[in-house]
Amino acid sequence: MLDLYDEFIYLCVGNMLTCPHIIIEVLGHYRNTFRRFLFHLLRSQQDTANYHSS
């Protein structure tokens, strides 16, 4: 017997196989968010370093 989670996974995998453009869209969205997050992280680290060095 499949539980709900397995069913959800199968549904997602099935959708991914039939709609690759959705994956690409989602990945692109996450990549932009991730890049922005990394940028803020690096900038805040630089600010902290500058603050300590002065």
Which pTM was predicted?
Answer: 0.39
Instruction: List the pLDDT tens digit at each of the 54 positions of the chain.
Output: 568 888 888 887 777 677 777 777 888 888 888 888 889 989 988 888 777 776
Domain boundaries, the chain: 1-52
Host H or E run for residue 19: none
Dist CA 7 CA 52 (whole Å): 53
For residue 54, the model assigns a pLDDT of 65
Q: Which of 53, 49, 29 is nearest to 41 (CA)?
A: 49
* Cα dihedral: 24, 27, 28, 33 (round 10): 170
Q: Do the beta carbons of residue 5 and residue 13 sit within 8 Å?
A: no
